[in-house]
Amino acid sequence: MRIRLALLLAFTISVTLVASSDAADRGDRFALVIGNSKYPDAEAPLKEPINDARDVAAELKRNGFNVEIGENLSGDAMRRAFDRLYGRIKPGSVSLIFFSGFGIQSNRQSFLIPVDAQIWTEADVRRDGISLETVLGELNSRGAGVKIALVDASRRNPFERRFRSFSAGLAPVIAPNGTLVMYSAALSSVISDNGSDHSLFVQQLLKEIRVPELMAEETLNRTRVGVTRASAGEQVPWISSSLAEDFSFIPGTAARPPVPVIAALSTPPQSSPSPSPSLVLQQSPSSAKPEVPPADEQAAIKIEKPPVVAHPVVALADDPTIRNLTARLVDNPDDQNALYRRGQVYASKGAYDLAIKDFDGSIRLNPKDVEALNYRCWARTVTGDLKAALKDCNEALRLRPNFVDALDSRGLVNLKSGMTKNAVADFDAALKINPRLTSSLYGRGLAKKRNGATAEGDLDIANAKAMDPNIAKEYADYGVR
């Protein structure tokens, strides 16, 4: 459920975070550390990843993590290692991933590359690589409270010369609530191995992890400063955080008072129109009559407007991803990819009005961008602009039939607008493509119950909650209970 998981980021106004998680204190800390150095397509093995992985694993063990370490893993071995990590997750536990090797960005996602990957086209990246967003989403669906990804993969890789169109480095990650991500270098940039046995990034990371009384964000910020200074500004690590609870790498670190946030956006956001929940919408362009919910069914549908939240500068204008993307847009206002990615981040933080504005710009530059159309459909659905949302989803599905994310989004549109039979049809179609799509499973359960199939609906809802404990809250945030 890439779209839903990506947009579950909670809006956090605390700047300094500290360790208070019961799960973290009692030792429910799990880490997967991978060092990949021997890529057959590379001219020579990388010197740093194995040593870095071993040192990071040893440090994490000292800090109470249950660590599995893998070296020179194939695609199958990496997937099995991640499956073992998923299986160990307990509700509220801490999960950490460290990866050193080659990484590639494709289709606006970052992929970790196994040593046996056969990559000649971008499609091969998505086939053989491991999506970082997918991994973080799976950890979240298993109930992990704190999710940390440390990725040292911003290297010039041997595959790029094979692509007609190539984006260097790694892409911004849009991750679930409770996630802290750090790349060893800035977005879309690469660095060269320094010729030593350890990377500069890991040297500084281990130095800061060992400092007592530091919170996780502070530890990584100090690491970024250390790397930047040591490289004379040539290497600047990238950090993104949506931590919703306090955490420190060193167990038992005492809490510090959070820094209050009182700033507001300089430009007040414009609210989107919110049509009546009972508005009857057309499923898709056709001559068939639209489904009209009976009066008693309309009365049974509980639709709530999503809460209106303020968007402090610290969480938006000062967000490192937004700052980077905004700088790119200052240089080139028609950077369609930057508009799309910034829209994603705005939406993930609840700034739907700003997100829709960026998606508007992205679609203006590329009217056939089905990803942007689907995201705008979702954002408009959450804000209640159901008629426009349905139009976006229909267009995305016209351009890409059986686009699972758009089917899932259109199911939500139909559910919110009371067209429960159409909602069931959309969720059914999405689940045929991806049976583990929890948002479609939960939405289908709600729609079935409203159609009178209570037992079937309850079963779908129970299965969805078993796969993702946060799914009910997710739908409540959409305004549907």
Angle subtended by helix axes 404-417 and 438-450, to nearest 10: 30
Check whether residue 339 and residue 462 sit in a common domain: yes
| Residue 332 covered by a domain | yes
- DSSP state letters, 314-357: GGTTT-HHHHHHHHHHHH-TT-HHHHHHHHHHHHHTT-HHHHHH
Q: Are residues 228 and 304 in the same domain?
A: no
Q: How many domains does the chain have?
A: 2
0.75 cut: is pTM over it? no
359 Cβ contact list (under 8 Å, min separation 6): 339, 340, 343, 372, 373, 375, 376, 379
3-class secondary-structure state, position 143: coil
Flag whether 257 is in a domain: no
Q: Which residues pair with 131 in a beta bridge?
A: 111
Chain position carrying tokens 């281990």: 206
Per-residue pLDDT of the chain (481 residues; tens, 9 = 90+): 444 444 443 333 332 333 334 444 445 899 999 999 999 877 788 889 999 999 999 999 998 999 999 999 999 999 999 999 999 999 999 999 999 999 988 877 899 999 998 887 777 888 899 999 999 999 999 999 999 999 999 887 777 656 544 566 788 887 788 999 999 998 878 876 656 778 999 999 999 998 877 899 999 999 999 898 888 888 899 999 888 778 899 887 654 444 333 232 333 333 333 333 323 333 333 333 344 444 433 333 333 444 444 444 445 766 667 877 888 899 999 988 788 878 877 887 788 899 999 999 999 999 988 888 988 998 999 999 999 999 999 999 999 888 888 899 999 999 999 999 999 999 999 888 777 678 889 999 999 999 999 999 999 999 888 877 778 888 887 788 7
CATH of the domain at 316: 1.25.40.10
Do 93 and 194 sit in the same domain of this protein? yes
Same domain assignment for residues 113 and 217: yes
The reply to whether 14 and 76 lie within a common domain is yes
Q: What is the CATH number of the domain that holds 174?
A: 3.40.50.1460
Residue 335 lies in a domain: yes
* 3-state percent helix, strand, coil for the chain, nearest multiple of 5: 45, 10, 45
Give the residue from 212, 241, 270 where a domain finishes. Answer: 241
288 part of a folded domain: no
> In angstroms, rounded to a whole number, what is the distance separating the alpha carbons of residues 426 and 443?
10
Range(s) of the domain holding residue 102: 2-241
DSSP state for residue 252 in the 8-state scheme: T
Are residues 428 and 316 part of one domain? yes
Spatial CA neighbour of 285 closest among 413, 397, 406, 404: 397
CA dist., res. 45 & res. 56, Å (int): 20
Q: Give the strand pairing for 179-183 and 238-241.
A: antiparallel
Residue 251 lies in a domain: no
* Alpha carbons 237 and 251: distance in angstroms, whole number: 25
